[in-house]
Chains A and B, each alone.
Chain A
Amino acid sequence: MKVYFDNSATTAPCPEVVQAVSEAMTVNWGNPSSLHYSGNSANALLESSRKAVADRLGCDPGEVYFTSGGTESNNTALFGAAYQMRRQGSRIVTTSIEHPSVYEAARRLSAEGFDVIMLKPDAYGNISKEALFEAITPDTVLVSMMFVNNELGTILPVQSIRTAVKRAKSPALIHCDAVQAFGKLPFTPASLGADLISVSSHKIHGPKGSGALYIRSKVKIKPLHYGGEQEKQLRPGTEAMPAIAGFGAAAKALPDTKQELERVTKLRDYLVKCLEDTGIAVINSPADALPYITGISVPGIKSEPLLNYLSERGICISSGSACSKGKKSRVLTEIGLAPDRLESPVRISFSRYNTKEEVDYFIQTLISAKRDIMPVKTEKK
């Protein structure tokens, strides 16, 4: 049995996506900037893809800028906003549990002279509103917070940022990395109160190499690349049409967010119940996490042998996040996880394709893993 429980790393492209990508490479392969029928139809495809993403985001198509993915969206948002706002202040507020593409960008900005504040999470990866209100000052120019943490599924209080910014009378732009929330949790730019929102295609069954940055109309940020007129000069370069068309198709194919959330919540609750009944693992995620992501630890077994063992039996899960491979997770270190749990974290992340039968098989295999894999000491080299 093949079980793919690593949907926060990437998702299987859905049939609609495969067809859209293929069409963009066989039939409609023109350059959207060209002024002939081939370019015109490519441009139409570009704009219809933009509309599909905008519809899902709940914004105007003019506010959607295509990028190469979540990392580029996050980098563009952080550097673009920080450089744009430089004259109004130098304070940036973010958290210590952001995705590396925000975290490392913030560290770089700090090295460039920005005053970067990283808010610390509680034991479940949440950020207190009090700390948020305290951190945002009149000279804060950018606040960046992820909507859903990629390792724990914790839903962060992004909606409170707008209020905090208002109260501080700060000119700050608000950025939200919503890569793990897009298509899974109902939200709109208005409900989040964000000026900038990053989303990615391959986390919603689209192709890799495509993502988008929502930029609220009238908000200006500095581009990081210079060249042609594409994406209103924010992201010049010939559009990656196959990936963009696939992203549009993926956005269109998303099922009703609320209904799907209910179904996945049931699946998660079942998973958690099985894990608790067998006593085989401890849950690191909070009870009110996004049900698509469940962080657990299997004390006594290091993540890597467990991953290998499950992989040999057809099951894909990840340790921490896919981007960190074997390194110790920064997020889990930040929330102060006990050493035995820090050695053995794994993440189960669902998609709309996962079923209860798959959870059953996973639990059975986890039980046999616990029997077959020798426990190891928690100390490192």
Chain B
Amino acid sequence: MKEVILIKNGELALKGLNRRNFEDLLIKNLKFRLAPVSKFQFTVAQSTIVAEPLQEDADMDRAGEIISRVFGIAAFSKAAATEKNFQTILKTAREYLEDDLMGASTFKVEAKRADKTFPLTSPEICTEAGGYLLNAFPHLTVDVHNPDIKVTIEIRDEYAYIHGRQIKGAGGMPTGSAGRATLLISGGIDSPVAGYMMAKRGLELIAVHFASPPYTSERAEQKVHSLLRQVAKYSGRIRLWVVPFTEIQEHIKDNCPEDIFTVVMRRMMLRVAQIIALKENAGALITGESLAQVASQTLPAIVCTDDVCSMPVFRPLIGMDKDEVIEKSRKIDTFDISVLPYEDCCTVFTPKHPKTRPTLEYVEKAEKCFDYAPMVEQAAEQARLVIIDNR
């Protein structure tokens, strides 16, 4: 018996003539992500991708775990592949699904016969296999409407596949299918969630983190690495640029009115991020802002920050409450890392009474107090690359 994974790619099936491209990309992503487990061979049939390990002792449980976090997959199931001999199929079903069937009290059998040359029809397969399994597991009863477990037998061209439970996939679109975008990540709760959400829609992530030693520590940067490693479990490899930001922050502190520190700082950050994004061929920026969460995230403040960007700024959390964001961050296991209490670039010089309704005119005037352009260029220039690969 050979074990394979059957992958249903959901939304991709709706992509018409581009479907092939999406599928190819998904397979490329799967190959890359599954590499530590084994080399896999992929075949596409209808809306199913069959992933077959080329290494005999491949850890298929681990492969399943990895696949559950790959975007672009609606559902998947581990399946036994056998020759298309009905007796073999029955025996395999009994052996392969023994644990599942022992743990269930009701079941049903579903058959899909793609290969119409197979001697039994789908209803016949169901009846025969149902009887056989009832005989083998006398504690079971049949429930066709709401079974504890559904045994699926698929007769396809080369093999018959037998599987039990179907596992929900991560959904979304294959990473990279929507292009690249640059995520600004501080170390808080929001930005990793924002990155996750946009990666889910098919963006490949480039991350930018601003470090301001000695105001922020090495631990703060390590924390960002940990957060991104967690996000990378879904998004795949992330290129992180760590930008030296102390000089700019000190100049803001020295030269600008205190009530506008944060907005000016965010404008500088977006400027640097945009330079890096262009260099990385990224088409958008991503931030974890949520409307009115803090003074720099009010509508007038966002108007002021967006003004420095020519590329779109995606803010997937804009309409979310904090507890909704927290719920998501717990789901992707970033919350516990985010709440580690290290100072980050955003908390270094927090004004006492920030302006909640800054005007562009006021901000631009404040910014003119120092010659920031060369500093911005230099910060982007001196950014250090860290590859975050959590395979």
Residues of A within 8 A of B (CB): 302, 304-309, 311-312, 325-327, 373-374, 376-377, 379-381
Closest chain A residue to B350, Cβ basis: A381
Taking a contact as CB atoms under 8 Å apart, the answer to whether B351 and A308 are in contact is no
**A308-B342 contact, Cβ under 8 Å, with A379-B350, A381-B350:** no
Complex contacts, A381 vs chain B, CB 8 Å: 294, 347, 350
Taking a contact as CB atoms under 8 Å apart, the answer to whether B342 and A376 are in contact is no
Taking a contact as CB atoms under 8 Å apart, the answer to whether A377 and B352 are in contact is yes
Taking a contact as CB atoms under 8 Å apart, the answer to whether B341 and A308 are in contact is no
Complex contacts, A308 vs chain B, CB 8 Å: 213-218
Taking a contact as CB atoms under 8 Å apart, the answer to whether B349 and A376 are in contact is yes
Taking a contact as CB atoms under 8 Å apart, the answer to whether A326 and B341 are in contact is yes
Q: Does residue B253 face the partner (Cβ distance < 8 Å to A)?
A: yes
Complex contacts, A306 vs chain B, CB 8 Å: 214
Q: Does residue B102 face the partner (Cβ distance < 8 Å to A)?
A: no
**A325-B352 contact, Cβ under 8 Å, with A305-B214, A308-B217, A309-B214:** no
Given contacts A307-B217, A381-B347, 16 further A-B contacts (CB under 8 A): A302-B215, A304-B216, A304-B217, A304-B343, A305-B343, A306-B214, A308-B213, A308-B215, A308-B218, A311-B217, A374-B349, A376-B350, A377-B352, A379-B350, A380-B347, A380-B350
Taking a contact as CB atoms under 8 Å apart, the answer to whether A302 and B343 are in contact is yes
Closest chain A residue to B348, Cβ basis: A376
CA–CA, A306 to B343, complex, Å? 12
Taking a contact as CB atoms under 8 Å apart, the answer to whether B347 and A312 are in contact is no
CA–CA, A250 to B336, complex, Å? 36
**Contact with B343, one of A309, A312, A326, A374 (Cβ below 8 angstroms):** A326
Taking a contact as CB atoms under 8 Å apart, the answer to whether A374 and B350 are in contact is no
Q: Does residue B377 face the partner (Cβ distance < 8 Å to A)?
A: no
Complex contacts, B347 vs chain A, CB 8 Å: 380-381
Q: Does residue B250 face the partner (Cβ distance < 8 Å to A)?
A: yes
CA–CA, A307 to B218, complex, Å? 11
Closest chain A residue to B254, Cβ basis: A374
Taking a contact as CB atoms under 8 Å apart, the answer to whether A377 and B214 are in contact is no
- Mind listing 23 A-B residue pairs with CB under 8 Å? A302-B215, A304-B343, A305-B214, A305-B343, A305-B348, A308-B214, A308-B215, A308-B218, A325-B341, A326-B340, A326-B341, A326-B342, A373-B214, A374-B254, A376-B348, A377-B258, A377-B350, A377-B351, A379-B352, A380-B350, A381-B294, A381-B347, A381-B350
Identify which of residues 301-356 in chain B touch chain A, using a CB-to-CB cut-off of 8 Å: 340-343, 347-352
Residues of B within 8 A of A (CB): 213-218, 250, 253-254, 258, 294, 340-343, 347-352
Complex contacts, B341 vs chain A, CB 8 Å: 325-327
Q: How far is the CB of A330 from chain B (nearest CB, A)?
A: 13
Taking a contact as CB atoms under 8 Å apart, the answer to whether A374 and B351 are in contact is no
Taking a contact as CB atoms under 8 Å apart, the answer to whether A312 and B214 are in contact is yes
CA–CA, A304 to B341, complex, Å? 10
Taking a contact as CB atoms under 8 Å apart, the answer to whether B214 and A374 are in contact is no
**Contact with A325, one of B215, B218, B342, B350 (Cβ below 8 angstroms):** B342
Complex contacts, B349 vs chain A, CB 8 Å: 374, 376-377
CA–CA, A305 to B217, complex, Å? 7
Closest chain A residue to B212, Cβ basis: A305
CA–CA, A381 to B350, complex, Å? 6
CA–CA, A304 to B212, complex, Å? 12
- Please name the 5 residue pairs, one residue from A and one from B, whose CB atoms are nearest each other, closest first: A326-B341, A308-B214, A309-B214, A304-B343, A305-B215
Complex contacts, A377 vs chain B, CB 8 Å: 258, 349-352
Taking a contact as CB atoms under 8 Å apart, the answer to whether A304 and B342 are in contact is yes
Residue of A302, A306, A312, A376 with most partner-chain B CB within 10 A: A376
Taking a contact as CB atoms under 8 Å apart, the answer to whether A304 and B350 are in contact is no
CA–CA, A258 to B213, complex, Å? 42
Q: How far is the CB of A311 from chain B (nearest CB, A)?
A: 8
CA–CA, A380 to B351, complex, Å? 9
CA–CA, A308 to B350, complex, Å? 19
CA–CA, A325 to B351, complex, Å? 23
Q: How far is the CB of A327 from chain B (nearest CB, A)?
A: 5
Taking a contact as CB atoms under 8 Å apart, the answer to whether A374 and B217 are in contact is no
Complex contacts, B350 vs chain A, CB 8 Å: 376-377, 379-381
Q: How far is the CB of A339 from chain B (nearest CB, A)?
A: 12
Q: How far is the CB of A320 from chain B (nearest CB, A)?
A: 11
CA–CA, A229 to B214, complex, Å? 51
Taking a contact as CB atoms under 8 Å apart, the answer to whether B213 and A312 are in contact is yes
Q: How far is the CB of B160 from chain A (nearest CB, A)?
A: 51
Q: How far is the CB of A115 from chain B (nearest CB, A)?
A: 32
CA–CA, A312 to B246, complex, Å? 15
Closest chain B residue to A309, Cβ basis: B214
Complex contacts, B217 vs chain A, CB 8 Å: 304, 307-308, 311
**Contact with A304, one of B215, B258, B351 (Cβ below 8 angstroms):** B215
CA–CA, A237 to B218, complex, Å? 38
Closest chain B residue to A308, Cβ basis: B214
CA–CA, A339 to B347, complex, Å? 17
Complex contacts, B218 vs chain A, CB 8 Å: 308
Complex contacts, B351 vs chain A, CB 8 Å: 377
Complex contacts, A304 vs chain B, CB 8 Å: 215-217, 342-343
Complex contacts, A307 vs chain B, CB 8 Å: 217
CA–CA, A111 to B351, complex, Å? 40
CA–CA, A278 to B258, complex, Å? 30
CA–CA, A286 to B91, complex, Å? 80
Complex contacts, B340 vs chain A, CB 8 Å: 325-326
**A374-B253 contact, Cβ under 8 Å, with A302-B343, A379-B352, A381-B350:** yes
Complex contacts, A327 vs chain B, CB 8 Å: 341
CA–CA, A309 to B343, complex, Å? 13
Complex contacts, B215 vs chain A, CB 8 Å: 302, 304-305, 308, 373
Q: How far is the CB of A277 from chain B (nearest CB, A)?
A: 25
CA–CA, A26 to B253, complex, Å? 58
CA–CA, A377 to B253, complex, Å? 11
Q: How far is the CB of B301 from chain A (nearest CB, A)?
A: 15
Complex contacts, A305 vs chain B, CB 8 Å: 214-216, 343, 348
Residue of B215, B254, B341, B342 with most partner-chain A CB within 10 A: B215
Complex contacts, A309 vs chain B, CB 8 Å: 214
Q: How far is the CB of B248 from chain A (nearest CB, A)?
A: 13
CA–CA, A359 to B215, complex, Å? 24
Q: How far is the CB of A10 from chain B (nearest CB, A)?
A: 17
